[in-house]
A and B are shown apart, each in its own frame.
Chain A
Amino acid sequence: MKFTETHEWIKEQNGIGTVGVTQYAQHELGDIVYVELPEVGKDIKSGDVAAVLESTKAAADVYAPISGTIVEVNKALLEASELVNKSPEGEGWIFKIRLSKPQELNSLLDLDAYQAKHS
């Protein structure tokens, strides 16, 4: 698993990356009431806004950690947005992306580096 400064995580397997937000992020946001998912098929660049997480007090942008094409979105979140809070790094994943530039993974943070910044 790799991390961004902006609290996203990505798990890559066979060229497809699953993306979500970290435990820290869901805690800061509070109860998530709505998730705005990206469009399947959309091309996206690293750093672009891919999704939006809405709580009662805030709306946070979820940024794409790497560039590529959206291949799947977690539709379960439309009915059960609380999954992001309950299992942010598991069932609460947000979207899957086919990497166009796998080398971008190298500039992301590993667990130790991320935790060092946000404990």
Chain B
Amino acid sequence: MSKTIFEKSQAEQHAYSLPRDASEFQQFVPEKTFLRQAPLNLPEVSEIDLTRHFCGLAKKNMGIDTNFYPLGSCTMKLNPRVNELCASLPGFTHTHPLAQEESIQGNLQIIHELIEILCRVCGMTAGSLLPNAGAQGEFVGMRMIAEYHRKQNDSLRDEVLIPDNAHGTNAATAAMCGFKTVTIRSDANGDLDLGHLKSLASNRTAALMLTNPNTLGIFSQAITEVAAIVHQAGGLLYYDGANLNPMLNVVRPGDMGFDVMHINLHKTFSTPHGGGGPGSGPVLCNAKLKEFLPLPRVEKKGDKYHIIWKDAASIGMIASFHGNFAIYLRAYLYAKLHGHYGLRRIAEQSVLNANYLKAHLKSLFSSPFPQFCMHEFVLQADNYLDKGIKALDIAKRLLDYGIHAPTIYFPLIIKECMLIEPTESESKATLDHFVEVMRIIVAEIQANPDLVRTAPHTMPVTRLDEVLAAKKPILKQ
């Protein structure tokens, strides 16, 4: 059975070394009353054993480098190694966040230029790289919207409109900012129900939070009308940038009528997912909301960059320092390597790859939306329920074939949903292989459904008891 590192402890063994001591340091001993009395229960492990432990754990994990990840809404594209190389340059890693301006002009230039690039791609005027993740970017955007209405003496506006197929963070963020969520229905085509929107937009509407294309991979053609309805009611439009990949230099959220948005750099701009983070969720906005952007900000005067730490109109600080610098540093390089030309190619290829997969797979599953998709599409596995097979089972069986499952059960409104996004990275051979594997699994469902229902069989563990984990939580050694 697998051991944790705590269980590999051997008395007196260790890996560390410390810089040379000096006798002059020895006379300094802290006051006894403050000292720690309780034992420190960390393990005692040598460097070779530590190394083997983590290398062993790596063998029990999938990554983009090792497996295809058609995870809808996550944009699992290649994380280029040149990004890693440059992000680890000592000239960057060795800079302190409170260093004086003159000594970190390189960092400030990167911040300023990246914001400019992102604004141009998205049709926005200004932005901030401070939010440490998409959810934090949303929080900042919604705080800015709240401040905007407060400044207009319009604090009656306490409602945020959110489509029923939206990501959970949207509603949670709105609540965090003191707003009530009002849900808008989707129509039969998977698009926003305009009639329902019209009936809900009022003088209580602070904002509409939307992603376009939506979480079903469908582009809302009436977006300009949607924007007009909300603006006319006095509300603002927030764009959830999770699905920006197919839009890069094809269409700009600013042009669509959005006032503020966030981008997920760990999705669209290839920064590594790292097993769950760190991410980066820059916020961009138009002139209406510019003054509310958080602090600190970077300004350019002549050819020198300056940091602004104070501004009365700003919503204030949202992070310890400058956000996830080493993460957006990677996004900066990624953007420069591609240029605007390359970003457009990303958008086109991501949509082409997705539609190719859809053309193949729609015969195996229910495809609720027949029109061309954008970068991702929804399939339903509900036609296998009579064999006792759900989307979850198919997802687990895919693991046995070395493919990470697609996103399942999201959006919540589609039964036995699988959301598939190949990204522009993948080659045709990989896509064909995925189709082939899905065909095999469907054949297995017909011939031997139990095999699929109890999958996976070749992973380090079989299905895990999540009820036990939640009922009797064991959260540490």
Q: Do A and B touch directly, given a CB cutoff of 8 Å in the complex?
A: yes
Asked if B52 is at the interface of the complex by the 8 Å CB criterion, the answer is: no
Report which of B466, B469, B471 forms a contact with A81, defined as CB distance below 8 A. Answer: B471
Give residues 47-74 of A contacting B (CB, 8 Å). 54-56
Q: Could you give 14 example pairs across A and B, Cβ below 8 Å?
A: A31-B467, A33-B467, A33-B470, A33-B471, A34-B470, A34-B471, A54-B470, A55-B467, A55-B470, A56-B466, A56-B467, A56-B469, A56-B470, A81-B471
Complex interface: chain A residues within 8 A of B467 (CB) = 31, 33, 55-56
Docked CA distance A105–B467 (Å): 36
Task: Determine the main DSSP class of A at the interface with B.
Answer: strand
A-contacting residues of B (Cβ < 8 Å)?
Answer: 466-467, 469-471
A-B pairs, 6 with minimum CB distance = A33-B470, A56-B466, A31-B467, A33-B471, A56-B470, A33-B467
Judged by DSSP, the binding face of B is helix
Q: What B residues does A54 contact at CB under 8 A?
A: 470
Q: Which residues in B have their C-beta under 8 angstroms from that of A56?
A: 466-467, 469-470
How far is B469's CA from A55's CA once the two chains are assembled, in angstroms?
A: 11
Known: A33-B470, A34-B471, A56-B466. 11 other contacts (CB 8 A): A31-B467, A33-B467, A33-B471, A34-B470, A54-B470, A55-B467, A55-B470, A56-B467, A56-B469, A56-B470, A81-B471
B residues less than 8 Å from A34 (CB atoms): 470-471
Smallest CB-CB separation from B409: which chain A residue?
Answer: A57
> How far is B467's CA from A56's CA once the two chains are assembled, in angstroms?
6
Q: How far is the CA of A55 from the CA of B471 in the complex (A)?
A: 9
Residue of B nearest to A30 (CB): B467
Residue with the highest number of chain A CB atoms closer than 10 Å, among B466, B469, B471: B471
- List A73-95 residues whose CB lies under 8 Å from chain B: 81
Closest partner residue, chain B, to A33 (CB atom): B470
Note all chain A residues with C-beta closer than 8 A to B466.
56
Please report the C-alpha to C-alpha distance between residue A31 and residue B471 in the assembled complex, in whole angstroms.
Answer: 10
Task: Kindly provide the distance from the CB of A108 to the nearest chain B CB, expressed in whole angstroms.
Answer: 26
Nearest opposing residue in chain B for A56, CB measure: B466
- Of A31, A34, A55, A81, most buried by chain B (CB within 10 Å of CB) is A31
Residues of B within 8 A of A33 (CB): 467, 470-471
A56 to B471, CA, bound (A): 9
Q: Which residues of A contact B469 (CB under 8 A)?
A: 56
Which residue of chain A has the shortest Cβ distance to B471 in the bound complex?
Answer: A33
Over the window 14-53 of chain A, the binary record of Cβ atoms lying under 8 Å from chain B Cβ atoms (1 yes, 0 no) is 0000000000000000010110000000000000000000
**Chain A neighbourhood of B470, CB < 8 A:** 33-34, 54-56
Across the interface, name the chain B residue whose C-beta is closest to A80: B471
A81 to B466, CA, bound (A): 15
